[in-house]
Structure formats: structure tokens, C-alpha cells
């Protein structure tokens, strides 16, 4: 379910690093918690993002949720498909529904994120409470 | 992303069924309730196009009986209870002296001086205390909430589905009437009422029979497309239908007239709590007015967002959401009475953006006759 090549945050974002570019999305657990996603608000290419700070919002029918950046850097690409097809976040959160790509300014930040195994343990614990 | 769950909340008799069905649960009014099963959009459309079944056992029930019960209810509610015949129901409000609602509720007349009131879950204790505080006539008032489960069967195919599990003459049961009925082999009170904007029924019956009624109805409606629906769809359905939700459109600081509930204010029925304020407002005007709007640009207005007109913040959104059937984003907001006018454009502050909206007539959705 949770790809091994991704890193994860406690706020339920995932990140995949390819050299100095990180692709960021929300996890399958996050989309399930949100329910039917109907609207996504994202930054523009060139905007700065900072680790643990909100860079956008994902809205389901019932609620709006902030998305927090796992890393610091500059947005290099935004997934424009989500503007017209926000429901992709429900059907393919780890694939075609990525949110943004960011050029890392501090690759060391990645070390603080969770592995797939750690994240799965984290959401199991979350559910138990 | 963050999720929160209530702790120490009450459970309805169907809690285990909801969990087993994979429902997502949430705290509401002190109860842990199913917010969605297959998804709010799908459940919403099932109710508009076929039927949905809701566990609304969190709702409170208060029984008022005995001589002069009518006098008590006339004093504490805004609608005219004297107009009710046996087994007729009425939407009304328990009144605050400021012309606002302690709660909105449905009063069912079961016989002479025999009334059954369905109230909002979170307000049940407050309502009971309020009724008791005004009970100078010595009526027998009881909070009977724990004696009832309540299921709502709603949608254009509700009558067809319910007809399979009851001998009760549904064709003769008109909107806002009720009767003692056996459904799914269980005796209870069956009312042709609801909170979705569709035809449908609400059934009040002993909690120990909850699983039987729930399972029998779901099975009976399988071919018709009946789906279990949660509080999420209940909210989007009531919003499309333009119905107020206590704590959003209604509270103790909002008069019934301001919330467009003038139609349940029977000022000519005699004295009742809050009447003088309502009378004064009718003559002198309102402080604010509830209006419906639809978004003209992408974005969803949510409860609490500011409404702007001509560069000024003039009001607040009380409810806002996508409308799954109408396929647009809609909401309700309080604005100054002078600004309340269908067609007028305003903006709503969504985080850092001003998003254009247009006032539209209420309700947003009216079911085809």
C-alpha cells in the first residue's frame, strides 16, 4: 500500500526524492480520512515552501485540510490536472495525484521523515486511539 | 492533515452495525455517529435518486402529557400547537425571550394533551430544563430519549421500500402526519417527516429492535438502490433543501425572523415567550437576514468565513459546502437586511482570497412534484 521508495510525515504527506527534486502528495490514509475530495488549492511554480509549513489546502465535501510541506525549497512544478479532477486524489493519491515538485534547499531534512514501515506503524497506532 | 475523534461519546444501538459496515465515525452532539459509509457524494445522490437510510437515534425525544400540556406548549413554542389534530406533526421552535430559538424541533400530537417532541441531540438536556422551568401548569414532562431509536428513510423510493415491510396505509399518511405503525415487525411511531428535502419517513421505536429494523429495511430496499447514509450526507442534503441547522443558522442570538422562520411564528395565537421581540422586529426591521448564495468562482465557503460587500466585511457564512446534486458550491450567510437581495453579488474571504458569490433564492433545491 505505502511505497518503500517514499518518505512520510506525521501529517500524512508523502515525498519521493529524485536527485534534488522532491515530489509531494498526500497519503492514501489521508484521502480516506478526508472522503470525497472536491477542491485543491496549490502554490505556483517559483513559490517558496518551508518544512512543516502549510503550502496548500485539500477540501473534501465536509472539511478543508491544510497540506504541510515535508521539506524546504522552491516549487518547480504543480499538478494542474487536480484543478479539474480533484477526485484523482481519492483514486490515485500515490501516483497521478501528486501535488507539487520542490527543489530541495536542504536535503538533510529528508532524514527526519518516516519510512513506509514507520508510517504504517504510525497510522496503526493512530487508529488504535 | 489531521483527524480528530471524540472520546467518551455516547453510542446508538446501531454502533456495532455502523462499525462493521466500515462507516467513518465522528463526534456529533455528544454522540459518536457515522459520518459516511460509501462516501458523502454517493450517499447524497442515492437519497435524491432512490433512497437512503439514516440512523438518527442521537436525536432527543421529550414527552409532554397531562392536563394543560397544550397551554404549556403554546407558551414555550412559536408555532400554533392548537392547530394540530391527533397524529399531526409541526415544525416549531422552543422560544428564548429574545425571539430566538432555544432549539428547533418537531412536535407530534398523539392525542389530547399528549405530545411527543423530537429535538436536537446536543440540546436535549437544555430543552428539557427549559420546558420544566416553564412548567407552571404541572404537565408531565419526561426526557424519553433513551427509550427510542430513530431511523430516517428518505428519498423518492422510500414509500415503495417501506411498503414492503409494513401494512400501514402509507398512501394516506400525508406530509407532517404520523401514526402508530408496525414496521419490520416492530411497533413504533411512524412520521412522514425528514430533513433531506425528499419524501420520506422517520420511525421512532424501542432501541433493542434497532438492528432488526435497520437490516430489514436495507434488505427490502436493495433492488431500489437504498443505501445507508451518514451525517455528512444529511448535512449536504439539508443545505440543498435550505433547512437550518441549530448551531449554524440558529442560535440564541438569532431571531426566527432573521433565520427566515417567520412562517413558524404565529404571533396571533396569543402570548408566547419571545413574541414581543418578534412583533417589534416585524414592525421595525431585522438586524440581519439569512440568505443563500452560490459560488461564481472555484472555492468552498465554510462556516465562519467573512462576507464582503463594497470593500466592507458585513456578515458571516453559517454553512457552506459542495451541493452534490446541484453540482455547484453553495452556502448560507447572514448579511445586513438592506443587502439581502437575490441576484446581488458579494465576495467571501477564503483564507487570503476574495471569492465572488451571488445570492440566490432559497431553497437551492426543491424536489419535483
Residue B105's CATH number: 3.30.70.1400
Instruction: Name residues whose C-beta falls within 8 Å of residue B110's C-beta, 6 or more positions apart in sequence.
Output: B86, B87, B116, B189
Number of separate domains in chain A: 1
Last residue of a domain, one of B200, B215, B240: B240
Residue B318, C-alpha cell as written in the block? 453559517
Q: Which residues pair with A107 in a beta bridge?
A: none
- % residues pLDDT > 90 (chain B): 97
Measuring CA to CA, which residue among B63, B65, B1, B54 is closest to residue B23? B54
pLDDT at B7: 57
Does the structure show a pLDDT above 80 at B207? yes
Q: Is residue B96 part of a domain?
A: yes
pLDDT digits (tens, 9 = 90+) for B51-72: 999 999 999 999 999 999 999 9
| β-pair type (B31-36, B24-28) | antiparallel
pLDDT at B269: 97
Asked if residue B352 and residue B206 are part of one domain, the reply reads no
Asked if residue B348 and residue B229 are part of one domain, the reply reads no
All residues of chain B having their beta carbon less than 8 Å from the beta carbon of residue A36 are 39-41
| β-pair type (B186-191, B114-119) | unpaired
Number of separate domains in chain B: 3
Asked if residue B183 and residue B35 are part of one domain, the reply reads yes
Half-sphere exposure of B66 (CA within 13 A, CB side): 11
Q: What is the spatial distance between Cα B204 and Cα B191, in angstroms, rounded to a whole number?
A: 8
Domain that holds residue B45: 15-56+148-240
Mean pLDDT, residues B131-144 = 97
Q: What are phi and psi of A116, to 5 degrees?
A: -55, -45
- % residues pLDDT > 70 (chain B): 98
Asked if residue B174 and residue B38 are part of one domain, the reply reads yes
Q: Is residue A41 part of a domain?
A: yes
Q: What is the spatial distance between Cα B257 and Cα B360, in angstroms, rounded to a whole number?
A: 18
CATH number at residue A122: 2.40.50.100
Domain that holds residue A66: 7-128
Contact flag B1-A30 (C-beta cutoff 8 Å) = yes
For chain B, what is the mean pLDDT?
A: 96
Asked if residue B234 and residue B126 are part of one domain, the reply reads no
Measuring CA to CA, which residue among B355, B359, B364, B318 is closest to residue B340? B359
Q: Is residue B309 part of a domain?
A: yes
All residues of chain B having their beta carbon less than 8 Å from the beta carbon of residue A60 are 40
pLDDT at B2: 36
Asked if residue B222 and residue B99 are part of one domain, the reply reads no
Last residue of a domain, one of B115, B146, B177: B146
Q: Is residue A1 part of a domain?
A: no
Q: Is residue B312 part of a domain?
A: yes
Q: Is the CA virtual torsion B94, B97, B98, B102 positive or negative? A: negative
Which of A13, A14, A15, A35 to probe the B interface (max B CBs under 10 A)? A35
Q: Is residue B265 part of a domain?
A: no
Q: Is residue A2 part of a domain?
A: no
Residue B26, C-alpha cell as written in the block? 465522528
Last residue of a domain, one of B121, B146, B171: B146
Q: Is residue B256 part of a domain?
A: no
Q: Where are the alpha helices (DSSP H) in chain A?
A: 28-34, 81-84, 88-91, 116-128
Asked if residue B128 and residue B65 are part of one domain, the reply reads yes
What does the angle CA B191 – CA B192 – CA B193 come to, to the nearest 5 degrees?
95
Helix (H, G, I), strand (E, B) or coil at B289: strand
Measuring CA to CA, which residue among B84, B325, B15, B301 is closest to residue B196? B325
Q: Give the number of A-B residue pairs with CB atoms closer than 8 Å.
A: 54
Asked if residue B187 and residue B220 are part of one domain, the reply reads yes
Nearest residue, CB atoms, A12 vs list B1, B41, B299:
B1
Amino acid at each position: 500500500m505505502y511505497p518503500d521508495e517514499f518518505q512520510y510525515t506525521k501529517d500524512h504527506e508523502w515525498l519521493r526524492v529524485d536527485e534534488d527534486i522532491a515530489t509531494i502528495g498526500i497519503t492514501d490514509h489521508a484521502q480516506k480520512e478526508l472522503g470525497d475530495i472536491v477542491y485543491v488549492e496549490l502554490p505556483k511554480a517559483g513559490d517558496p515552501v518551508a518544512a512543516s509549513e502549510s503550502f496548500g489546502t485539500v477540501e473534501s465535501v465536509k472539511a478543508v485540510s491544510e497540506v504541510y510541506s515535508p521539506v524546504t525549497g522552491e516549487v518547480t512544478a504543480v499538478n494542474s490536472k487536480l484543478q479539474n479532477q480533484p477526485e484523482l486524489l481519492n483514486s490515485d493519491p500515490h501516483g497521478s495525484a501528486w501535488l507539487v515538485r520542490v527543489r530541495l534547499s536542504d536535503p538533510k531534512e529528508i532524514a527526519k521523515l518516516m519510512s513506509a514501515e514507520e508510517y504504517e506503524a504510525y497510522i496503526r497506532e493512530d487508529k488504535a486511539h | 492533515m489531521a483527524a480528530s475523534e471524540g472520546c467518551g461519546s455516547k453510542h446508538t444501538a446501531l454502533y456495532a452495525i455502523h462499525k462493521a459496515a466500515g462507516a467513518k465515525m465522528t463526534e456529533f452532539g455528544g454522540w459518536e455517529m457515522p459520518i459516511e459509509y460509501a462516501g458523502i457524494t454517493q450517499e447524497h445522490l442515492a437519497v435524491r435518486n432512490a433512497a437512503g437510510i439514516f440512523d438518527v437515534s442521537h436525536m432527543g425525544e421529550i414527552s409532554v402529557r397531562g392536563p394543560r400540556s397544550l397551554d404549556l406548549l403554546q407558551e414555550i413554542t412559536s408555532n400554533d400547537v392548537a392547530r394540530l389534530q391527533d397524529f399531526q406533526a409541526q415544525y416549531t421552535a422552543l422560544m428564548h425571550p429574545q425571539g430566538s430559538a432555544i432549539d428547533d424541533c418537531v412536535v407530534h400530537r398523539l392525542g389530547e394533551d399528549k405530545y411527543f417532541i423530537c429535538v436536537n441531540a446536543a440540546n436535549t438536556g437544555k430543552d428539557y430544563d427549559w420546558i420544566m422551568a416553564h412548567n407552571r401548569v404541572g404537565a408531565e414532562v419526561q426526557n424519553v430519549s433513551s427509550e427510542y431509536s430513530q431511523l430516517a428513510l428518505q428519498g423518492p423510493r422510500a414509500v415503495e421500500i417501506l411498503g414492503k415491510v409494513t401494512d400501514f396505509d402509507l398512501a394516506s399518511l400525508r406530509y407532517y402526519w404520523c401514526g402508530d405503525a408496525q414496521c419490520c415487525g416492530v411497533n413504533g411511531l411512524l412520521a412522514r417527516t425528514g430533513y433531506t428535502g425528499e419524501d420520506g419517513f422517520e420511525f421512532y421505536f424501542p432501541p433493542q429492535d434497532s438492528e432488526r429494523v435497520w437490516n430489514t429495511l436495507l434488505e427490502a430496499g436493495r433492488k431500489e438502490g437504498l443505501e445507508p447514509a451518514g451525517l455528512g450526507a444529511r448535512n449536504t442534503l439539508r443545505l440543498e433543501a435550505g433547512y437550518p441547522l441549530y448551531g449554524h443558522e440558529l442560535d440564541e442570538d438569532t431571531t426566527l425572523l432573521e433565520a427566515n422562520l417567520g412562517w413558524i411564528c404565529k404571533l396571533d395565537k396569543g402570548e408566547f415567550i419571545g413574541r414581543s421581540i418578534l412583533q417589534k422586529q416585524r414592525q421595525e426591521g431585522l438586524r440581519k437576514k439569512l440568505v443563500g448564495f452560490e459560488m461564481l468562482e472555484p472555492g468552498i465557503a465554510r462556516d465562519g468565513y467573512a462576507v464582503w460587500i463594497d470593500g466592507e466585511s458585513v456578515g458571516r457564512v453559517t454553512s457552506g459546502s459542495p451541493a452534490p446534486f446541484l453540482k455547484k458550491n453553495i452556502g448560507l450567510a447572514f448579511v445586513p437586511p438592506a443587502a439581502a437581495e437575490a441576484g446581488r453579488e458579494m465576495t467571501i474571504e477564503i483564507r487570503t482570497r476574495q471569492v465572488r458569490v451571488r445570492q440566490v433564492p432559497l431553497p437551492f433545491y426543491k424536489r419535483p412534484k
